[in-house]
Structures are given as C-alpha cells and as structure tokens.
Structure 1
Amino acid sequence: MAHKPDPAGLKLRLIAARRLKAVLGGEHFSPFNAADLPDGRDRALANRLITTALRRHGQIDAMLAELLEKGLPPRSGSFEAILRLSLAQLVFLPDLGAHSALFLAVEAVKRDNKARHLSGLMNAVLRRAQANSARYGLMDEALLLPEAVRQRWTEIYGSAAVSRFAEALIAGAPLDLTLRDDDQDLIEALAAEPLLADSVRLENRDRPVEALPGYDAGRFWVQDAASAIPARLLGLEPGSNVLDLCAAPGGKTAQLLKAGYKVTALDNDRARLDRLRANMERLGYAPHMVEADAGNYAPSSTFKGVLLDAPCSATGTFRRHPEVLWRRSASDIASRVRLQQGLLTNAFRCLEPGGTLLYCTCSLEPEEGESQVDWALNALPGLELFPIRPQELPGLPQAVTSGGLVRTHPGMTPGSGNAGMDGFFVARFSRTG
C-alpha cells in the first residue's frame, strides 16, 4: 500500500512547532535561515508564525486560560507549541486562512506520539477560538507585556513610552545596517533610509541579508541603530590601542577598526570567535583576537580605550526577541548585575591612566545601567565619569541624560525615522590614576 503524502504545509508546521517548543523551553529564539529552510517563502512563513506567537504571547496566554478550563495537559509533547502557532494564525494572521490553521494543527498533533491522543481537544479548542476570533483580535494591549514588567517600566519611563513599547513589540524591528564607507550609491541600491551617522535602515525585509547589494563585498554589517552608538563615543586618536571585551559577533569591533584604532577583540567562546572571525574576513578587517574570560583577562600592557558591552538581561532587544519579556526575574537580573560588576572591575584594570572606558548594555533595567555607574564610581578609585554631551549624538540628543549618560528605548525615533530602536544604556568613564 502506497504511503499517503503529507498534506501541503504540514512539514513547515512541524518544523515551526519544534522551534517554538524549544523557545518555550528556554532557548533563545533564532529565526530560520536558508540552511534550515531553503525555500524563501517557507522560511518567511515559519518565521512569521513563530514571531507572531511570541509577540502575542501574553494575549495568547489569556486565550488559553479561557479555552482550556483545566489548563494545558501535562506531558503533552508539542501540543502547546502547535496550539500557540494556530491561535496566532487564527486571530492575528487571518490572511493565512482559518481552515489551514485548524486542519494542520490537528494533523501536526497526530504526528507526535506524545500528543496524538489530544487531536480531538486541539480541534475543539481551535473551533472555539475561531468562533471568538473577532473578540480575541481586540484584546487589551496591556496583555502584551507581563504585568510586573509593565508596572516597572511605567514607573521608569512613563505610561506613554510603555504604550509605544507595546506598539514596537507588535511591529517588530526593521533591519538596521552600519556602512563600512560613506556610500550614497549603496544606500540607494539598498533603498535604505539614513539614520544616525553611518547607520541606515531598511523597512522592506523581502530579501535575506546575504542577498542584499554589497553584502559579499563587505560593505555593511547588521547592527541596530542603538547598538552602533557606544563605539562612536570613544573619541580617541586613530592608532590608539583599544580592547573590545565580549566582542562577538563583532559589530562594535568593526566600528572601532573603521575609526582607525588598533583593536584587540576578546571573547570566551570559540564558536562566537569563529563567527567574529568570519564577519571580519567578509568586511576586510583584521583585529587581534583573543579567546579568554573577560572577567580575569590580564593583558601584558594596558589599553588606551576599553569597550565593555556586558552580558545582560537583553530586555532592550524585545522587538527581536519577545521571549525575554517572559523570562527575566529579579533574581535573574541580580545575577547579571554581579557578573557586570566583575567585568567592570577587570575592564578598569585593563585601562591605562588617562584612558577611556565605555560600558554599555542592551537592557532597559536601571540595575544594569544607571545603578552600575553609581557602583563603579564608588568601588573603583581612580575611575571618573566622562559625561557624554548631547552634541555628540546628532539626530538623537534626547537620549543623552542630564547626567551625561545615554539611555535609548524602543519608543524613541532615531534621526528622521518612523520606527523605534533597541533599548540601550551607555556610560563613559576615564581613569585618572
């Protein structure tokens, strides 16, 4: 008897469910690339389904609470991931069709030995959701952010800004690039919008990065407009020796090399260093690369400049990684704060007298930003704040605080753009002795 072929779209649904299940289990979300799904249309659809499910996670939680009176079944394999993808399609992606959402969900559950007994429940739940899809589509935007996160950020940034955060979450992030050269022809070929300094933005992401004009020639690298700010603020003479701690994947390393510095790029992960090396080769740059722990690295001589982009909660990247909103607890942030303090201490040791230290995080949490400045000034004698001035950030002076720090968030608009940017914090210090 001939094997009956799988229904169209089922394989993609199964692949998407596996990726979402991994993210729900604690993994970092990585969009599918050509190696995962060679067909560009399949890749775009799978990424769209997953990112919609992640961005609408809080609203889907509320739907599940209503639709599953007894809660999610225990030990149910891929049931939850398939259900979340299907609810995302039914309610928030109506252009994809309701029939395929129901049919493919049931078929996908049947292919999972741990979930196939729940195919009837999947069908019943999704039919109830379909009947209520109009109401679900109008769910309160307050559900987009965890309640504790919303309250904390409202106290810090204000309710108007947090409303813009929710809008930015749903909109996702456009593609920002940093250009290797001042290249108007490339900007036109990319159909890009100039933002700040050498950052440009592509609103239309209909092609993979590798297919964009200038990629193979190393004429740009991917870097959010906020992430590109710190390296521009070092302000040293060309030829100065600079240490880039926690350097991979290399966006800031490339900026430092472009500025004419002699750069040592350090990371403690071999795979990440390999990625940095590949990126530098494409761009035509050659930093000195070191595999070492940034917390105890002891160079033979100190540096005129040190850039520390410290590991953090990454809450400022929620437009690309919505899962961070639902994972970061107070204890989680506290453990990162302790790590950052150790890294700051060693960054200070690596800095020569008269040198400049830049500390930055892609976090919206003051504990990982402003509070770390207070800690460093008290704990590291000889370290002084070197205030950043608004005129050093043309196109975004509102990001410079009265205390000379930089604080961006997704509700801010860089340059003349009409979309936001990552949440980022930057402080600049000098060593007096």
Structure 2
Amino acid sequence: MRPGGAHPLRKESTAQPHSKPGLDARRAAVRLLAAVIDARTPLDALTDNEHGHPQFLALSARDKALVRAILVSALRHRCTIESLIRETLERPLPEKARALSHILHVGAAQILFLDVPDSAAVDLAVAQAKTDPRTARFSGLVNAVLRNLARGGGEALPRALARTRDAPAWFMEHLESAYGRETADAILAAHRREPPTDFTVKSDPDGWAVRLGGRVLPNGSVRVDRLPAPVAELPGYAEGEWWVQDAAASLPARLLGDVRRRAVADLCAAPGGKTAQLAQAGAMVTAVDLSASRLQRLEVNLNRLGLTAQTVEADLLAWRPDQRFDAVLLDAPCSSTGTVRRHPDVPWTKRPEDIQRLAELQSRLLERALMLLRPGGVLVFANCSLDPAEGEELVGRLLAERREVVLYPVRASELPDAEHFITSEGYLRTTPAVPETAGQLGDVDGFFAARLRVQE
C-alpha cells in the first residue's frame, strides 16, 4: 500500500464525520504526542492537571487517564511501533507527514499495548484523519495500516520487540559508551516495563506492605507492583503515613549519616521526598528551591506528612544564608535519564547538548553548595541521570581541580541492602538494569551520588 492515496478497495468520503465518543481524547493524544516529539515539550508539563495543555485539561478524568496511558505506551515503544508501521507500507511516510505519523502511532499504541478494542482504536483514528485537512486524503491508509496491525500484531509484536531498541540513537550511544552493550540493553529493556511504585513509610513497613498490597524491600521501602487506586485514594495518604519515593531516590539522604539535631540544607529540594526523609530523621532542615510553585507543593507535602522544615525560595547561585550547615544535600537538576521508566518522553525531549549544558550548571551549583558547609561538614551531590557527564566525570574534575575537596567514599556497611550499587571509587551508582532479588535492592531508577568533604 502507498502513503499517497486511499486504500484501493475503499472509496473514501471527504465529508467530515460527526464527533464520536472518545474522539476528543484521541485528538488530545495526537496533539500532545506532536508536542513531545516535534517541540520537545516534557509530557508532565502537558498533562499537569492545573497548567497542562488546554485540550488535555478539557477532558474528563477518565479520558485524561486514557490519554496519558496512550502517550506513555506510544513513547515507551516508539521505535517498535515505527518498525511495525513501516512493515505495512510500500514506502516510508513523507518526512513532512508528521500529523499522519502521530495519528498512526496513537492508534497503534492502543492496539498493541492497551486494553482498548481494536475496532474503536481504528475507527477513531480514521475519524480523526478525516477531520484534519493535513491527513484527510490518507484516511484510507490509516484504516488499512491499523487494521493490519490489529490482525497481525499478536505475532509481529514479539519479533519487532526483539529486533528494535526503543530509544533514539544518541541515547543508545551514550548508554553503550558508559555501561557497555550488555548493560545498555538491560537498561533499555527495563525502560519498556511498567515500573513498580515505592513508598517511604514513617513506621511499620510490614504493616503498610499488608495494607497497600505490596512487600518490604531490603532498605525498608514498601513496593507495590500495580496500584489498586490513585495515590491520593490509598490508605494512609490523608493521614500522612508515607510518601511515594523510588527506593534509589531514598539512598542519597542516608549518606549524610545521623542527622538528628543537625542543621541540614536540602538544595533544589522540591518536590520534597528527601526533605521529608531528613525531617523524619530529626534534622533541622532548610529546603531551598528556585521555583515558587514547586516549593508550594513541597510545603503541601510536608503538611500532609506532619513534618516541618524551613523553606526558602531562592536561586542557589545567589543565595547567601546567615549560617553555614552541618550537612548539605544537593539533588541537582539534571537530564533525568535515570527516570525513563516513569518518564518515557525524556530521551525524545532531550539532546546531547542538553546533557553538557546541565552538567555545566551542576558544576556551578556544586561549587556554590560547598561554600555552605561548616568546617568538617559533609555534602552529598546527587542526581537522577545515567550519564557519567553529570556524575562521575563531573565530580572527578572537581576533585582534580580543588585539592581541598576530598571524596568521602561510601562504604558497603552503610548500605548493606544496596552495596552492589557502590562503585570501586566509592560513588553510589544505581541503574534499572539490576533486578530485584531476595535481600538485594533492585528494579530501581538510575541515580548517582557522591559524598564530599572540604579539608580544613
């Protein structure tokens, strides 16, 4: 079949179809997919329930959930979907046929990966194609391609998954350069799977594992493979008994040691998971963030949890506090490539130059954070990037240039549940390539952390 005309056995009408139930949700999905792929707009910004895209905000709660599920599947398996679409065409779609490509990807994601009736996915995609002047003449093609996927996807999908790697070329190259082919493939395989949800609980992890329908991890987090309800509707949420935090994200704060009654600065603190950890551990926390809205969300979270911290809206590079701190935690803004399991738009919205730009910012933030330490204090630098440019390489340059700054290596005895994530240099480096096993923390986001001291 050719991308230049209608299906040969089907005469297409140019009349605009009436609006159908579910059509607005598919239109929104296509519009948002275009914003991610063509404009590199983060998916979280588009689907934010307060400030998201107008087409998304106009939907019912049920349709919002459907749109997000469609987009997560379409992005998580983008290369696989593209491969299967190409198999049904005599020649590739024109490069300028972006709107058509997005309609096909949204339809294919529903057919191949979601519990949506094939007929509904096909009919709504065709209806959408007919209502868009850019794609109206291709509605027959949309019908034929998606019906072919519906008929043969059960057999073709496993083969396509086996031969494709669902990531842009630059991202695969960075992973292979950092970790080698085998580990890179394991990371990419993890990115295809729906991740579990981890909870940091204030007390009684065994009890909360029962109540939430999960299990206790070696680090004390509670893990639930599939949530039975939205987070805010789960037992213990309103009472402030726990907060959602990937088990890997809970490790950097532990590297500060005993923080009871110590003055601790949590820099770039929002949304506040680590702030809550430190406050729960008895620290006198000052939480600093540049964003007023994100800081407000942090305060809401702390109020729900019944925890307290001083909050400061400030640019860290310009902030001049009245005191220095016993300990500093800098969870720096980064490329977020360690969270692709949860945010599959990341590889498609970031570029290699973004990695370099963010690494330069992190270096400046780290230099400033070191100035906030009291003599003998400890700083933990962390981020959720998988790229060594934002981790090992950045810290290595700092240590080479600043002789008074020394690495305070992480010891296996400090993280017995995660000692396999400690590198030979004494850094903490987690990746989703490591599976969860009995007694071993695994199936976590990618994280990097280094602990530093300034010699007197």
User: What's the TM-score once normalised by structure 2's chain length?
Assistant: 0.86
Deviation at 1:5, TM superposition (A): 6.7
1:379 matched residue in structure 2: 401
Looking at structure 2, the residues matched to 114 and 274 of structure 1 have their Cα atoms a distance apart, in angstroms, of 42
Letter paired with 2:42: H
1:107 aligns with 2:121: no
2:215 matched residue in structure 1: 193
Unaligned runs of 5+ in 1: none
Looking at structure 2, the residues matched to 399 and 211 of structure 1 have their Cα atoms a distance apart, in angstroms, of 34
Looking at structure 1, the residues matched to 360 and 86 of structure 2 have their Cα atoms a distance apart, in angstroms, of 37
Deviation at 1:80, TM superposition (A): 3.2
Letter paired with 2:117: G
Aligned counterpart for 2:391 among listed residues 347, 354, 369: 369
2:199 matched residue in structure 1: 177
- Which has the higher mean CA deviation after the structures are superposed, 63-72 or 53-62? 63-72
Looking at structure 1, the residues matched to 295 and 410 of structure 2 have their Cα atoms a distance apart, in angstroms, of 31
Looking at structure 2, the residues matched to 72 and 308 of structure 1 have their Cα atoms a distance apart, in angstroms, of 46
1:10 aligns with 2:26: no
Change beyond 3 A, Cα 1:312–1:118: same
Change beyond 3 A, Cα 1:418–1:15: farther
Q: What aligned pairs does 1:92-171 form with structure 2 within 5 A after superposition?
A: 92-93=113-114, 95-112=115-132, 114-130=134-150, 133=153, 134-139=155-160, 140-171=162-193
1:89 aligns with 2:102: no
1:214 aligns with 2:236: yes
Letter paired with 1:428: R
Aligned counterpart for 1:29 among listed residues 27, 33, 43: 43
Aligned counterpart for 1:323 among listed residues 315, 340, 345: 345
1:19 matched residue in structure 2: 32
Looking at structure 2, the residues matched to 56 and 255 of structure 1 have their Cα atoms a distance apart, in angstroms, of 34
Letter paired with 2:74: A
Change beyond 3 A, Cα 1:246–1:72: farther
CA RMSD in angstroms comes to 2.6
> 1:306 aligns to what SS in structure 2?
strand
Letter paired with 1:192: G
Looking at structure 1, the residues matched to 192 and 217 of structure 2 have their Cα atoms a distance apart, in angstroms, of 22
2:53 matched residue in structure 1: none
Letter paired with 2:27: L
Deviations 1:275-300 (A, max 9, x none): 11111111112211111112222211
Q: What aligned pairs does 1:25-104 form with structure 2 within 5 A after superposition?
A: 25-30=39-44, 36=57, 38-40=60-62, 42-66=63-87, 67=89, 69=91, 71-72=93-94, 74=96, 78-93=99-114, 95-104=115-124
1:402 matched residue in structure 2: 424
**Mapped contact 1:263–1:288 kept (Cα < 8 A):** yes
Aligned counterpart for 1:423 among listed residues 423, 433, 446: 446
**Mapped contact 1:109–1:115 kept (Cα < 8 A):** yes
Looking at structure 1, the residues matched to 94 and 256 of structure 2 have their Cα atoms a distance apart, in angstroms, of 51
Change beyond 3 A, Cα 1:228–1:141: farther
1:255 aligns with 2:242: no
Change beyond 3 A, Cα 1:418–1:392: closer
Looking at structure 2, the residues matched to 255 and 429 of structure 1 have their Cα atoms a distance apart, in angstroms, of 20
Letter paired with 1:96: V
**Mapped contact 1:355–1:430 kept (Cα < 8 A):** yes
Deviation at 1:409, TM superposition (A): 0.2
Deviation at 1:135, TM superposition (A): 2.6
1:288 matched residue in structure 2: 310
**Mapped contact 1:396–1:415 kept (Cα < 8 A):** no
Looking at structure 2, the residues matched to 232 and 290 of structure 1 have their Cα atoms a distance apart, in angstroms, of 23
- Which has the higher mean CA deviation after the structures are superposed, 401-410 or 178-187? 178-187
Deviation at 1:312, TM superposition (A): 1.0
Deviation at 1:130, TM superposition (A): 4.4
Deviations 1:332-362 (A, max 9, x none): 2111111011000100111111000000110
Change beyond 3 A, Cα 1:415–1:127: closer
2:335 matched residue in structure 1: 313
Letter paired with 2:21: A
Deviation at 1:202, TM superposition (A): 0.7
Deviations 1:3-48 (A, max 9, x none): x9733332332233333233223121239588855555x4543332
Looking at structure 2, the residues matched to 387 and 336 of structure 1 have their Cα atoms a distance apart, in angstroms, of 24
User: What's the TM-score once normalised by structure 1's chain length?
Assistant: 0.90
> 1:325 aligns to what SS in structure 2?
helix
Deviations 1:126-162 (A, max 9, x none): 3454465333542135421334433442343233323
Change beyond 3 A, Cα 1:225–1:289: same
Letter paired with 1:59: T
2:8 matched residue in structure 1: none
- Which has the higher mean CA deviation after the structures are superposed, 370-379 or 246-255? 370-379
